[in-house]
Structures are given as structure tokens and as C-alpha cells.
Structure 1
């Protein structure tokens, strides 16, 4: 893959972890299909900076359905006056399912953000936690880290396209970064999430691209 070097751009690889792969605790539709393409893109070293995110939940996390008696996975509850999807237990700290996918060469990653480690608050976005007590969305520090390195453009890939990739892209755009989602290197929780995801990206002025568009 021949690519142009993108010195002022960062690639965010979102939650490419074992539990989100087919057979995992919270499998995304065809989640494993994007692994070779992401590995190939990272090996080009075309981005000035690469960041990976990693779901890193303690046992008993508030987002787990098992933490709520009489609730089932994928039900929605009200949490801190905002909707919260309840998930199967997944990406529990230190477990094999929380590991970054071994099929990717991670040696070029400059930063790994572990998110969701507050047992009271879920965390989809690479930039900010979800709404917590008091309604706040605390920063992960990523935006400042990128700005310190002169990054003005963010590309995103990974899992899941309709949840953590979407929230990360929306926050990147709100924080003033030019934002591109590499659609071919993402997958949704279920295919039904794709149409509303495209609509949300278009509404927020976020471009959809393919990794092939980086060839040059």
C-alpha cells in the first residue's frame, strides 16, 4: 500500500480488542474482517501519530447488565439523566478479551488510552468519558496530547462503528479537528447501526472515506 505521509494527521484505532471479535463477549458484526487492513495501514507509517484506545472495565462496571438485577444485555436504562445501554460483561481489566488484537503490529502506536476504568461511568469516546455523576463528561487528555504535537486532522477506524467510533468522531469534530472516518476499516455492533451512523456523521459534517483514498 503506497501512501502519502500525513504529518499533521493522527490515526485513532478504536477498541480493536478480542472481546469485540466474533466469538467474543460483545462481538461486532464481522469485527475480524478489518484487522488485516488496519495492520497494513499501520505498517505504512504514513501517519504522524497513531493512538489506540482500549476498553478497560473493572468487574461490576455500571454498564454491565449483570450489575443491574432483572436487567438483560442491550436493554436501556436512565443513568445520570442520560440513556445507557447495558452490555454483556466485556473487556474486563487484565482478561484475554480486553487485549488488543494480536494480528496488528502495534509498535508504531504513540499512545494507548484505556477508557471505561471508572466503575461508575461508561466511556465510548477516545476524547471524553460518557455522562457521569453531575452530568460531566471528563476529558481523557487526548485532545491536548494531539494539539501539543501539531495534529489538525483525525482519521478513525476500529470498533464499533455505531458506538465508540461514532462518539469519538463526533467529539473530534466538536473539538475542532478535521475528522475522517475510514468506513471500510470499521464495523458496527449490528448492520442495522450503519444507516443512523451515516446520518449522524453527515449531520455533524464528518467525512466518510476509505483507506484506499490515502493511497498516493
Structure 2
């Protein structure tokens, strides 16, 4: 049986309602994330955080597409309080280089190192946002030879353009990810 890890992507205050860059209903997946984190099938539970410097290139004032968000050490960059941190084994910070998008958790080489050290073969990728950081983390995992599942009951997308999340899931499906059809209403 393959060793599995749960990767909870960017479930942070700035990406939930009231934050600097909120995903619509982003906090609605909290219970599902906690349920998955308790699932004994996972040998390792990892949470990622956008952890941007003040001058990150993705910020509008630096010429990027996004408002300032998830600045290192701010309340907005912290994991959402509804996430049960007692179930998290490792926190991986990403997006620290001002010149990279920071969309994929694999931009931090520690993620792959930790997964390999634990003999992980399969990842279930969940969190925020389906159409950006979840998608890019899952694609990079596939490129590195991991089996990947995306549980749509535990993701939400920002959908800058209507349908972005659905297109992201289709791209992941074509790349070889398993897309778990969830029962949670609107969980893309």
C-alpha cells in the first residue's frame, strides 16, 4: 500500500472572507480539512503557507496582479484559526522569493525532501485556491512522479474568470491527477 500525505494548501486568513485576497466561501472547507487531517490513511499531514516578503512581485504595487496578501509575520499570513493545527505534522512556507509567483508549494525544496524522507508516494492536495496554488502544487507533484488526488470537497477557487476552477480541475485530470468527486455543494 502506497504511503500517503495530505497537503493542505494555503488555508490562511488572507484567503478567507475578511482577508486581503478572499476566496469566496474559502472558510467553508475548514471542517472537511480537519476531517481529512484526522484520516488514518495519511502518513503525513502538511500545511503550506504563502509567506511573502513586503516587496513580493505578485503585489499590485510591484506590478503584479494581486493585492498585498500573506506578508510574512502578519495575521493574514497565519493559518486559519479553524484549522486544527494539532493534526499538522509540517508547515511549508512558499512564495518567499520576490521574483517567483509562489503558486506551487514545490518552489520550496523542503517539501519534496520531506515527502521523499517519509517514503510518500501519493498526495491528496486540498485547500485554496483550486485555480492557482492547489493546481500548481498538484501539477508539480505529478511532474515529480507522485500520484495525486484532488479532493474537491476540500478545495475552493477564486475564479477570477468564471469557470477557472473547473478548467484547473480538467487540466489536472488530463495531467494524470485523480479528481475525487465530492458531495459538498459548490466545492471547486
Would the TM-score normalized by the shorter structure come out above 0.5?
A: yes
Larger Rg: 1
Structure 1 unaligned blocks of 5 or more: 1-5, 69-84, 129-138
Correspondence for 2:8: 13
Correspondence for 1:203: 174
Correspondence for 1:155: 124
Alignment partners' CA distance in 2, 1:48 and 1:210: 23
Deviation for aligned residue 1:102:
0.8
1:1-216 alignment to 2 at 5 Å? 8-68=3-63, 86-128=65-107, 139-190=108-159, 192-210=163-181
Structure 2 unaligned blocks of 5 or more: 184-188
Q: Secondary structure at the match of 1:162?
A: helix
Deviation for aligned residue 1:61:
1.1
Alignment partners' CA distance in 2, 1:90 and 1:111: 22
Deviation for aligned residue 1:199:
1.9
Deviation larger for 175-184 or 102-111: 102-111
1:49-107 CA deviation, whole Å, 9 max, x = no partner?
01110001111211101123xxxxxxxxxxxxxxxx61110001111111101111112
TM-score normalised by length of structure 2: 0.89
Correspondence for 2:186: none
Q: Is this contact kept in 1: 2:158–2:165, CA < 8 A? A: no
1:14-50 CA deviation, whole Å, 9 max, x = no partner?
0000000012110112201101111122234441001
Correspondence for 1:81: none
Alignment partners' CA distance in 2, 1:7 and 1:106: 25
Q: Secondary structure at the match of 1:29?
A: coil
Q: Is this contact kept in 2: 1:43–1:105, CA < 8 A? A: no
Deviation for aligned residue 1:203:
1.5
Over the aligned positions, Cα root-mean-square deviation in angstroms equals 1.8
Q: Secondary structure at the match of 1:90?
A: coil
The number of residue pairs the alignment matches comes to 181
